[in-house]
Amino acid sequence: MNIMRTAMLLAFMTALFMAVGYAIGGSGGMMIAFLMAAAMNLYSYWNADKMVLRMNHAVEVDEKNAPEYYGIVRALAERAGLPMPKVYLIDNPQPNAFATGRNPQNAAVAASTGLLERLSHEEVAGVMAHELAHVQYRDTLTMTITATLAGAISMLGNFAFFFGGNRENNNPLGFVGVLVAMIVAPLAAGMVQMAISRTREYSADRRGAEICGNPLWLASALDKIARNVERIHNPDAERNPAMAPLFIINPLSGERMDNLFSTHPDTANRIAALEEMARQGMGGSGGARPAPAPRNPEPREAGPWGAPAKPAVEEKPTQPNAGPWGRNPTGPKGRWS
């Protein structure tokens, strides 16, 4: 059902893009819009993952310099029957994560240092299982195409604002067509993009719970991430808000409403669905680690990370230490080898 809904929304986005081109320049404008969309989609298909990782200053890690983190992803990928993705780390105190890549054979997952510092082993496993579910369902490609089309529609809207009034002879809808291209189409495109994101998050939550083996691990992680995101600023995401739908929790704000204008479902609704999965005994045993972290747990030793969980009020990262995820600062800003 979710796949069908996503396909319908993508078809609507494509039709909307063509309609904007027609509203601005008639059949000629529609053809130009089609060619532009094809070029942009082709470029984004091959390069979107690199762009997203670069925008977030992500650094690739492996089992030598991030043994615990890399090991979690490897075990989950094997459990899900997926090729091992590339694993990245982001130097950011806001706990969050995302997946990218055009297909499972060319996928990458990225987690922030804030996520590894504030979540337990079980919760990190739940988050990374969610991201691998996006990879398995090829959601990363879907969201890339949607973002490209939404951006192209907005670009056409800007074009209509500056040039639409001077092209009335080529514009079959006149001033109404210009208004549609300027206002209605970009707004509709943004709403469709957000709707696709919300649809895929619920599916990834469910599949992620199955991959990690315990829905409560992901439920606890979502609760922690949402509370921290409300208080910790993410400057990279603020500079590139189009990336927001890729993250497991909206990195731009502590949005609490599950409505047409939210990039993600309400976290409380997602947690409730996962808890219902647990009550029904769905998700499996979770492998070698028998018990999840409780919801809203008190600060404790964060499992194999070997350091107490950090409070949510922290706005700036502390001086980094070498940890099990392989952080080796080489300068005042801290990077990884």
Residues annotated as binding site?
130, 134, 201
Q: Which of 68, 117, 123, 131 is catalytic?
A: 131
Point out the annotated binding site for Zn(2+).
130, 134, 201
Instruction: Write down the residue that tokens 């996962």 correspond to.
Output: 274
Between the alpha carbon of residue 159 and those of residues 13, 178, 190, the distances in Å are: 18, 10, 17
131 is catalytic: yes
DSSP string, 251-299: SS------STT-SS--HHHHHHHHHHHHHTT-S---TT---PPPSSPPS
Instruction: Name, in order, each residue with C-beta under 8 angstroms of 233's C-beta and a sequence gap of 6 or more.
Output: 94, 315
Token output for 253: 């704000």
Q: 173 and 237 in contact (C-beta within 8 Å)?
A: no
Q: How far apart, in whole angstroms, are the C-alpha atoms of residue 133 and residue 303?
A: 24
Q: On the CB side of 89, how many CA atoms lie within 13 Å of its CA? A: 26
| Catalytic annotation, residues | 131
